[in-house]
Amino acid sequence: MQKYSLLFFLLLLSPALSDLQCVENDKTALLKIKNSFGNPPELFSWTQTSDCCTEWAGVSCDLALGQVLSLNISNTKNISGPIPDSIGDLPILSYITLHNLPYLTGPLPPSLTNLSLLNRLTITYTALSGPLPSFITTFTQLSEFNLSHNKISGNLPVFPGDNTYFSIDLSHNYLSGVIPSSLFLGVLTNPILDISFNMLTGMIPSSLGKINFSWLNMAHNQLKGDASFLFGASKWAQLIDLSWNELDFNMSSLTFSPDYLQSLDLSHNEINGSINKQISKAKKLKALDLSYNQLCGRIPIGGPMKKFKASSYAHNLCLCGRPLPPCTR
Ligand SMILES: *[C@@H]1O[C@H](CO)[C@@H](O)[C@H](O)[C@H]1NC(C)=O
Ligand SMILES: *[C@@H]1O[C@H](CO)[C@@H](O)[C@H](O)[C@H]1NC(C)=O
Ligand SMILES: *[C@@H]1O[C@H](CO)[C@@H](O)[C@H](O)[C@H]1NC(C)=O
Ligand SMILES: *[C@@H]1O[C@H](CO)[C@@H](O)[C@H](O)[C@H]1NC(C)=O
Ligand SMILES: *[C@@H]1O[C@H](CO)[C@@H](O)[C@H](O)[C@H]1NC(C)=O
Ligand SMILES: *[C@@H]1O[C@H](CO)[C@@H](O)[C@H](O)[C@H]1NC(C)=O
Ligand SMILES: *[C@@H]1O[C@H](CO)[C@@H](O)[C@H](O)[C@H]1NC(C)=O
């Protein structure tokens, strides 16, 4: 916001800058997009006679170049059909937001591969469907990849490259199959991964244990087996949510980040063993749900543990102690 108001201020001050018009190529591409979307009323400001860099809703430019840097079309039922191919004709387009467009359909257009500077791709709450095309992993500048709440099917891709795809959100789709054993090929510093609410099956690959996620959500899938390798006191995850799967492992030796972990949900699995006392060192822990598992033994006390109610531990095998009834042995 601040950046834009500063730009606006500069525009007012500088007649030279305000003379700048968006380049013809970009204007033509946007007008084609408007046309493919059926000239919806939301894009009424997109006209042949106005400057697309300063007068068009949802468009912002690199003002020095007069080229479109970001495009945001959100919150309307009046846009239907697929993402137009002409989106690939905006050479420096770096930020795309297509949000809450329930009638936006079809797969991602191949012309997206033209956007070599793409940094943030957010297409959320639409009817985008089909499998993820293989070109989706070819962007070299992409850091935020958010395709949550769509109708995407097929398998998860393998994400390439060092320090790209830093944040991946594919939650609330129809993805199926197993998680690739090397989901990330490159080195990523504290990435975000949200693949919750899909139909993923099989074991979580142990290679993911080497990744130091800052946020990891795999809830509401059909994942089986071990997940203990995802944990550790030296990991940086703020949130780990593996709830509503079919995970079965022994929780007794798991340790948790004392300085970062804020939210842990392992509920609705088949996890056995006991809760390691070390959890009471996770001083930032604000949300804990271990209900509906096969856990047993004394609930640790101290630190953040006093915050949690009986519901955090409900429906286990034989957990005991505060806030549940006292242990009998
Ligand atoms: C996109 O535009 C909507 C309004 O239509 C606004 O609420 C939202 O914050 C914008 N998003 C981005 C990422 O600019
Ligand atoms: C869709 O367009 C119609 C006019 O064609 C308008 O009345 C309506 O407000 C628009 N819907 C939204 C969500 O803006
Ligand atoms: C993509 O790039 C190619 C080559 O640079 C160009 O011919 C084409 O028109 C561009 N646009 C689309 C939509 O593919
Ligand atoms: C992805 O977009 C949705 C909808 O705008 C948002 O709620 C969610 O936080 C985003 N995911 C990430 C990882 O930023
Ligand atoms: C996790 O990442 C943080 C910050 O990048 C680092 O300090 C910490 O040592 C890492 N832990 C592991 C287990 O790699
Ligand atoms: C606890 O779970 C592990 C992993 O599924 C299993 O091998 C072990 O037999 C279970 N222990 C008991 C007592 O059921
Ligand atoms: C879990 O592992 C611990 C050793 O780390 C062992 O003492 C305990 O019996 C195991 N629990 C189950 C249910 O298998």
Domain total in the chain: 1
236 falls within a domain = yes
Q: Could you tell me if residue 96 is inside a domain?
A: no
Q: If residue 104 lies in a helix (H) or strand (E), which one and from where to where?
A: strand 104-105
* Domain residue limits at 262: 155-329
Residue 81 and residue 67: Cα distance in Å, rounded? 26
Residue 321 lies in a domain: yes
SS3 138: coil
Confidence of residue 20 (pLDDT cuts 50, 70, 90): low
Quick one: which ligand is closest to 42's CA? 2
Å from CA of 252 to ligand 7 middle: 6
**Residue 273 CB–ligand 7 contact under 6 Å:** yes
Residue 8 has pLDDT above 90, yes or no: no
Under the banding of pLDDT at 50, 70 and 90, the label for residue 149 is very high
- C-alpha pair distances (Å), 259 with each of 240, 279, 286: 14, 11, 12
- Does a structural domain hold residue 185? yes
Find the Cα–Cα–Cα–Cα dihedral 157, 162, 166, 168, rounded to 10°: 0
How far does the centroid of ligand 1 lie from the alpha carbon of residue 133, in Å?
Answer: 26
Cross-strand partners of 294:
272
Q: Taking every pair of C-alpha atoms in the chain, what is the biggest distance, in angstroms? A: 82
Q: CB of 265 closer than 6 A to ligand 3? A: no
d(CA 227, CA 211): 13
Q: Is residue 104 part of a domain?
A: no
Protein residue whose Cα sits closest to atom 10 of ligand 6: 272
- Assign residue 209 the CATH number of its domain: 3.80.10.10
**Pairing state of beta strands 287-289 and 246-247?**
unpaired
Residue 300 has pLDDT above 90, yes or no: yes
Query: Considering the domain boundaries, does residue 263 fall inside one?
Result: yes
Q: Domain for residue 174, yes or no? A: yes
Evaluate if pTM is beyond 0.95. no
**Burial (Cβ within 10 Å: 0-12, 13-18, ≥19) of residue 25:** middle
- Across the chain, mean pLDDT equals 92
With respect to residue 320, please indicate whether it lies within any of the assigned structural domains. yes
The best mutation among 26, 36, 89 to test binding of ligand 3, ranked by most ligand atoms within 8 Å of the C-beta, falls on: 89
